[in-house]
C-alpha cells in the first residue's frame, strides 16, 4: 500500500512538473546545429559568430541586449545610468555593481577582480585580442570593492556600454586565465576550449570544429533554470543540411544561420516540424561607389587614390540613376525571401536610430534614363551612353557567392536597359576580404567602379560604424591600403557632423546626427547604394519553446528560458 | 628486398623535404589570408595586432623553418613525453592552428578515428562488394549480370558523391526517416543499442562512399580476370579435368588479384585523407572536413601539416604496394 501511494505521488509529481514551470535539468537534451562548427570557446580570441554564440552559453557579460535592442542586466544588479549615478555626470566613468552571491560553475565566487583581469587580458598589446575595440578609450578598470567595478575612460564616453556588454565582451575567470595573458593567450588550449563561466551551461566536452557538449551549470544564479539538463552544438555541413535537420528530419531543436534560397525555405516550412525565425540587425547588402579612378592605365600607386577623381561616378546624377534602376523588392524575392527587406539606409534598424528612408524602393527606369539624358550622358550609336567621348562603362565586382551572382545578373540587366555598359567580376571571398596589400582584388583597393558586399554595425550605437566614411579613413598606398572608407568619399560636412556626434551626449540628439550622417552617404549622395536589409535566418523545431531571436546579442541570449514543448 | 626497401626509405627523405617546401610555398603564395575571417566591424589596427599574435606576419622562410622544427622535433618530443612521462619538449611551442588556436596534432588525433571508421568501412565494404561482382562479370562476360555490373560501375564512377549523398538523404532520411542525416561524433559505443545507433548513422555515408569505391575496384577486378581467363594455363587446368570452381576461384582468381591488391593498397592513403565532400555532407568530423575548413580559413599551419602527412602516407604506401607486388608475384624481384 505504501509503495502504491509513493508511486501515485511520483506520478502526480511528474504530472505537476509538466504543467508548472519545469525545474532545472528536467527537459533532457537540447540539440543545436551550426553550419560552421565552433572552433574555440573564447570570444576574445575569435571574431567568428559561431564561436561567440557557442561561448555565450557559458560566458556572460555584466549586461546583455534583449531582442528589442534594450540593455538588460546579466551579472550586474542594474544598468548604470547618469540618473542612478552609475555613470558619472561628465561621462568619463561607469560603475557596475555585481549581483550578490554569484558563483562560477566551479563554485568559486565571482568578484570585481575577474572583471579587472578580463580587461587587462584583452588590452594586453601582445595578446591579439579580437574584441579590443570593445575596450577602446578605456583608461583603467578597477575594483572598488569585491563587487564594484569602475571603468574610467580617457575622455567623455557618451555610449559607455562597450566593455563587459554583450556576448563579445564577457567576463573570464581570473583563476583559470591568469597564466594565459599576452603572448601565452593562444597556447592555453584547455582554458580556451573549456572556459569556466557563470552562464546557464558549462562545457563538458569539446572537439575542435565539430561538437561542444554542455550540462546545466549547478551554480547558475536562477535555481530553476536552465530547463535542459544537457545541450550540444554540432557544427559542420552547410545551411541547407542544418535547416533540413530541424525542419524535415527533426534531429535537432535549433539551427543557427540557415540561410537558404527562398524556394527551399518554403518547401522545408511545409514539412511542419519547425519554423524559421528571422533576426534583423543592421546588416545591409550594398553597392559601394568608387569616387576615385581605378583605371589600369594609371601608374600603380595612383590607381584608386584621391589624386584621380572617378571620371564617371563623380557625377552624382549617374550614381542616382544607377540606384533608381534597381528593383530592390525583386532582389529580396530572388535572394533572401523572408530573411530580407528592401533598404535605402545603411542603418536600417533599430527604428530609433534609422532614418527609415523609403524613397529608393520603387524602381524607376524611365526616371533614370531622363536623369542621365539631362546630365549629358546620351546614347551613342551602339546604345551605350556617352559624354565627352567617354563611354558609360562600369566594372561591377563582388565575391563568389550564388546570391551575389544572381544580384549581379539582375542589376546588369537593369543597368543595360538604361544604356550602361556593365562588366561583371567575382572574386574569391578569402581574397576579397583578405586585406593582402599585394593583391589587386581586395575590397579595400577597389580596382573596380562598383562593388557589392554586406556590412553592419556591431553595436546599437553606430558611432564606431559611421566613423568609416571620414576622409582620413580612406585606404591608400600610404597606409598599406588599410582603412574602411573604401569609396574614398571625402566631405568636410560629413567629417564635422561626425565630430559633433562624438561630442554629443544626449541620446535623442545622437540619433538625429546618426540619421543625418546616414542620409549624407546614402540618399543624398548615393556614395553607398543600400540594396537589402539582411536578417539572420534560423530555425527551431516545434518541440522547442522560449526562443526569442535576437539580432543585437547572441541568438542564445535567453537559452536559460528555453524549454521542451510537451 | 631488404636493400631495396632501405634504399627506397632513404630516398624518401629528400623527396619529402622537397615536397614539404613546395607545399609550404604553394599554400603561402595562394591568395587569401586569415584576415578574411575577421568581420569588417573590427578596425584595421586590431586586425594587424591579431595577425601579429598568430605569427602570420613573419617572413615565409622563417615560418617554414619554424614549422620544420616543430614538425620533426617538438611534436615527436611531445608524443614521447606523453608516452613515457619525460620532459623532452619543455615549453616549446607546438604547431597551433590559426583558426582554433588548438594544437594541430590534437585536432588530427580527434579526427582520425572518425575518418578511419567511416571512410575505412566504406573502402572495405566497397572492396567486398566489388570483388565478387568483378569475378562474376568477367566469368559471364556480356551476360545480363555483367551489363548490370557495368551500369552500376558507370553510375558509381560518373555520379559525384555530393549528388548521391543528397539523394540518399532525401530518400532514406527525409522521406523514409530510417537514418539520421547528421553524424554524432560524441556517441560512445557501450552496448547493443548504442552500437545499433552507430551502425545507423554510418549507413548513409558508407553507402555513398562505398558505391564510388566499389565501382572503381570492380572494374579493375573484371579486366584483370578477363586477362587471365584467356591464358593457356586455364585451358590446361580445364583439360586436366579440374572442376570449374577450382579453375576460376583458385587458379584464375589468385593470379588476377595481384594488380587489384596493388590498386587497393595505393588507395589506402586516400582513406586517411578522408572524404572531403561526403564528410561535410553528413557532418562526420573527419580529416577531409578539417582540411577543407582549414583551406577556407587560410589556416596555413593546419593545411601544411595535413597535406604533408598525406604526402608521407602516399610515399609510404607506394613502397608497400611495390613490396606486396614482389611478395605476391615470385617472378618480380627488385635486387
Closest CA to B54 of A208, A126, A190: A126
Any CB–CB contact under 8 A between B278 and chain A?
A: no
Q: Give residues 149 to 178 of B whose Cβ lies within 8 Å of A.
A: 169, 173-174, 177
Q: Residue A17: pLDDT above 70?
A: no
Residue-level pLDDT at B278: 86
Distance from the Cα of B198 to chain A's closest Cα (Å) equals 15
Q: Residue A209: pLDDT above 50?
A: yes
Report the chain A residue with the minimal C-alpha distance to residue B180: A251
Q: Which residue has the higher pLDDT, A55 or B332?
A: A55
DSSP state at residue A559 = G
DSSP state at residue A346 = S
Closest CA to B67 of B97, B26, B102: B97
Q: What is the pLDDT of residues A280-322, one digit of tens each?
A: 999 999 999 999 999 888 888 888 888 899 999 999 999 999 9
Q: Which residue has the higher pLDDT, A543 or B90?
A: A543
Closest CA to A437 of B33, B56, B87: B33
Residue range A480-501: average pLDDT? Answer: 90
At residue A12 the predicted structure's pLDDT band, cuts being 50, 70 and 90, is very low
Residue-level pLDDT at B187: 81
Instruction: Answer whether A241 sits within 8 Å of B96, measured CB to CB.
Output: no
Instruction: Answer whether B101 sits within 8 Å of A40, measured CB to CB.
Output: yes
Residue range B214-221: average pLDDT? Answer: 89
Residue range A540-559: average pLDDT? Answer: 92
Q: Residue B335: pLDDT above 70?
A: no
Residue-level pLDDT at B52: 80
> Going from the N-terminus, what domains does chain A have, and what CATH number goes with each?
280-457+522-535 (3.10.105.10)
Q: What is the pLDDT of residues B3-30, one digit of tens each?
A: 888 888 888 889 899 999 998 888 888 7
Residue range A121-141: average pLDDT? Answer: 88
At residue A14 the predicted structure's pLDDT band, cuts being 50, 70 and 90, is very low
Q: Residue A370: pLDDT above 90?
A: yes
Average per-residue pLDDT in chain B?
85
At residue A228 the predicted structure's pLDDT band, cuts being 50, 70 and 90, is very high
Residue-level pLDDT at A533: 95
Instruction: Answer whether B50 sits within 8 Å of A130, measured CB to CB.
Output: yes
Contacts of residue A132 in chain B, CB cutoff 8 Å? 46, 49
Q: What is the pLDDT of residues B271-294, one digit of tens each?
A: 777 788 888 888 888 888 888 888
Q: Which three cell numbers stand for residue A138?
A: 578605456
Q: DSSP states of A401-456 as a string?
A: -HHHHHHHHHHHHHHHHTT-EEEEEEE-HHHHTT--TT-TT-TTT--SSEEEEEE-
How far apart CA B242 and CA B244 sit, in angstroms, is: 6
Q: Residue B97: pLDDT above 80?
A: yes
Residue range A249-278: average pLDDT? Answer: 90
Q: Residue A9: pLDDT above 70?
A: no
Residue-level pLDDT at A254: 95
Q: Residue A489: pLDDT above 50?
A: yes
Q: Which residue has the higher pLDDT, B18 or B95?
A: B18
Residue-level pLDDT at A54: 94
Count of other CB atoms within 10 angstroms of residue B319: 17
Q: Which residue has the higher pLDDT, A320 or A506?
A: A320
Residue-level pLDDT at B295: 85
Q: What is the pLDDT of residues B127-184, one digit of tens each?
A: 999 999 998 898 888 899 999 989 988 888 888 888 988 899 889 988 888 988 888 8
Any CB–CB contact under 8 A between A245 and chain B?
A: yes
> Going from the N-terminus, what domains does chain B have, and what CATH number goes with each?
110-296 (1.10.3720.10)
Any CB–CB contact under 8 A between B197 and chain A?
A: no
Distance from the Cα of B189 to chain A's closest Cα (Å) equals 17
Contacts with B141 (C-beta within 8 Å, 6 or more apart), sequence order: B226
pTM of the full predicted structure?
0.84
Q: Give residues 183 to 212 of A whose Cβ lies within 8 Å of B.
A: 183, 185-187, 189, 192-193, 205, 207-211
Instruction: Answer whether B293 sits within 8 Å of A434, measured CB to CB.
Output: no
How far apart CA B35 and CA A271 sit, in angstroms, is: 40
Instruction: Decide: B216 and B156 in contact? Cβ < 8 Å.
Output: yes
Report the chain A residue with the minimal C-alpha distance to residue B178: A249
β-bridge mates for residue A536, sequence order: A279
Amino acid at each position: 500500500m505504501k509503495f502504491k501511494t509513493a508511486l501515485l505521488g511520483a506520478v502526480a509529481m511528474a504530472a505537476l512538473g509538466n504543467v508548472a514551470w519545469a525545474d532545472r535539468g528536467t527537459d533532457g537534451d537540447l540539440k543545436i546545429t551550426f553550419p560552421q562548427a565552433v572552433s574555440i570557446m573564447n570570444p576574445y580570441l575569435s571574431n567568428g559568430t559561431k564561436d561567440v554564440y557557442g561561448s555565450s552559453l557559458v560566458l556572460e557579460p555584466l549586461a546583455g541586449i534583449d531582442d528589442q535592442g534594450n540593455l538588460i542586466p546579466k551579472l550586474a544588479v542594474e544598468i548604470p545610468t547618469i540618473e542612478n549615478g552609475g555613470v558619472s555626470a561628465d561621462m568619463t566613468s561607469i560603475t557596475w555593481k555585481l549581483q550578490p552571491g554569484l558563483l562560477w560553475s566551479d563554485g568559486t565566487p565571482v568578484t570585481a577582480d575577474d572583471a579587472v583581469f578580463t580587461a587587462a587580458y584583452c588590452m594586453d598589446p601582445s595578446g591579439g585580442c579580437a574584441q579590443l575595440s570593445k575596450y577602446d578609450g578605456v583608461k583603467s578598470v578597477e575594483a572598488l570593492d569585491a563587487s564594484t567595478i569602475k571603468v574610467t575612460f580617457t575622455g567623455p564616453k557618451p555610449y559607455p556600454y562597450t566593455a563587459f556588454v554583450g556576448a563579445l565582451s564577457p567576463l573570464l575567470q581570473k583563476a583559470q586565465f591568469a597564466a594565459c595573458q599576452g603572448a601565452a593567450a593562444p597556447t592555453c588550449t584547455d582554458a580556451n576550449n573549456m572556459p569556466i563561466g557563470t552562464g546557464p551551461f558549462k562545457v563538458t566536452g569539446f572537439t575542435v570544429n565539430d561538437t561542444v557538449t554542455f550540462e546545466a551549470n549547478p551554480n547558475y544564479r536562477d535555481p530553476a533554470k536552465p530547463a535542459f539538463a544537457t545541450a550540444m552544438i554540432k557544427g559542420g555541413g552547410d545551411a541547407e543540411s542544418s535547416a533540413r535537420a530541424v525542419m524535415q528530419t527533426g534531429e535537432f531543436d535549433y539551427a543557427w544561420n540557415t540561410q537558404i534560397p527562398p524556394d527551399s525555405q518554403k518547401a522545408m516550412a511545409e514539412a511542419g516540424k519547425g519554423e524559421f525565425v528571422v533576426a534583423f540587425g543592421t546588416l545591409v547588402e550594398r553597392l559601394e561607389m568608387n569616387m576615385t579612378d581605378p583605371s589600369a592605365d594609371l601608374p600603380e600607386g595612383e590607381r584608386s587614390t584621391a589624386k584621380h577623381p572617378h571620371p564617371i561616378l563623380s557625377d552624382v546624377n549617374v550614381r542616382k540613376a544607377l540606384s533608381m534602376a534597381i528593383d530592390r523588392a525583386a532582389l529580396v524575392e530572388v535572394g533572401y525571401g523572408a530573411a530580407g527587406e528592401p533598404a535605402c539606409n545603411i542603418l536600417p534598424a533599430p527604428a530609433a536610430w534609422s532614418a527609415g528612408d523609403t524613397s529608393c524602393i520603387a524602381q524607376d527606369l524611365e526616371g533614370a534614363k531622363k536623369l542621365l539624358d539631362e546630365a549629358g550622358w546620351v546614347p551613342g550609336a551602339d546604345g551605350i551612353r556617352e559624354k565627352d567621348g567617354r563611354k558609360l562603362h562600369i566594372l561591377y565586382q563582388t565575391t563568389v557567392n550564388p546570391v551575389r551572382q544572381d544580384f549581379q545578373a539582375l542589376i546588369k540587366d537593369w543597368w543595360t536597359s538604361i544604356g550602361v555598359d556593365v562588366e561583371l567580376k567575382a572574386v574569391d571571398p578569402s581574397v576579397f576580404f583578405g586585406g593582402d596589400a599585394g593583391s589587386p582584388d581586395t575590397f579595400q583597393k577597389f580596382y573596380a567602379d562598383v562593388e557589392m558586399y554586406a556590412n553592419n554595425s556591431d553595436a546599437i550605437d553606430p558611432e564606431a560604424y559611421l566613423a568609416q566614411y571620414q576622409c582620413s579613413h580612406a585606404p591608400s598606398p600610404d597606409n598599406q591600403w588599410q582603412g574602411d572608407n573604401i569609396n574614398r568619399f571625402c566631405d568636410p560636412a560629413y567629417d564635422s557632423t561626425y565630430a559633433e556626434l562624438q561630442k554629443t551626449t544626449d541620446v535623442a540628439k545622437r540619433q538625429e546626427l546618426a540619421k543625418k550622417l546616414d542620409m549624407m552617404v546614402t540618399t543624398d549622395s548615393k556614395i553607398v547604394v543600400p540594396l537589402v536589409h539582411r536578417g539572420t535566418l534560423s530555425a527551431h523545431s516545434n518541440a522547442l519553446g522560449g526562443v526569442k531571436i535576437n539580432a543585437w546579442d547572441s541568438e542564445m541570449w535567453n537559452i536559460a528560458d528555453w524549454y521542451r514543448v510537451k | 628486398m631488404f636493400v631495396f626497401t632501405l634504399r627506397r626509405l632513404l630516398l624518401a627523405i629528400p623527396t619529402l623535404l622537397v615536397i614539404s617546401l613546395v607545399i609550404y610555398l604553394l599554400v603561402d603564395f595562394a591568395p587569401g589570408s586569415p584576415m578574411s575571417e575577421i568581420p569588417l566591424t573590427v578596425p584595421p589596427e586590431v586586425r594587424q595586432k591579431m595577425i601579429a599574435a598568430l605569427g602570420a606576419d613573419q617572413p615565409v622562410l622563417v615560418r617554414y623553418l619554424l614549422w620544420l622544427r616543430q614538425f620533426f622535433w617538438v611534436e615527436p618530443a611531445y608524443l614521447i613525453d606523453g608516452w613515457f612521462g619525460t620532459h623532452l619538449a619543455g615549453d616549446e611551442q607546438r604547431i597551433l592552428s590559426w583558426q582554433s588556436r588548438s594544437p594541430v596534432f590534437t585536432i588530427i588525433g580527434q579526427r582520425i578515428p572518425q575518418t578511419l571508421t567511416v571512410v575505412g568501412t566504406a573502402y572495405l565494404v566497397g572492396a567486398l562488394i566489388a570483388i565478387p561482382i568483378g569475378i562474376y562479370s568477367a566469368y559471364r562476360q556480356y551476360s545480363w549480370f555483367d551489363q548490370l555490373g557495368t551500369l552500376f560501375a558507370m553510375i558509381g564512377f560518373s555520379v559525384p558523391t555530393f549528388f548521391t549523398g543528397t539523394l540518399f538523404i532525401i530518400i532514406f532520411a527525409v522521406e523514409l526517416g530510417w537514418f539520421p542525416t547528421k553524424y554524432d561524433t560524441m556517441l560512445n559505443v557501450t552496448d547493443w543499442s548504442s552500437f545499433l545507433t552507430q551502425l545507423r548513422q554510418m549507413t548513409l555515408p558508407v553507402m555513398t562512399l562505398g558505391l564510388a569505391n566499389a565501382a572503381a575496384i570492380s572494374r579493375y577486378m573484371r579486366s584483370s580476370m578477363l586477362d587471365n581467363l584467356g591464358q593457356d594455363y586455364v585451358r590446361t587446368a580445364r583439360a586436366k579435368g579440374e572442376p570449374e570452381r577450382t579453375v576460376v576461384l583458385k587458379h584464375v582468381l589468385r593470379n588476377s588479384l595481384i594488380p587489384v591488391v596493388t590498386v587497393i593498397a595505393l588507395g589506402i592513403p586516400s582513406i586517411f585523407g578522408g572524404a572531403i565532400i561526403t564528410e561535410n555532407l553528413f557532418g562526420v568530423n573527419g580529416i577531409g572536413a578539417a582540411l577543407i575548413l582549414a583551406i577556407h580559413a587560410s589556416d596555413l599551419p593546419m593545411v601544411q601539416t595535413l597535406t604533408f602527412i598525406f604526402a608521407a602516407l602516399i610515399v609510404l604506401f607506394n613502397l608497400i604496394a611495390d613490396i606486396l607486388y614482389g611478395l605476391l608475384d615470385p617472378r618480380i624481384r627488385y635486387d
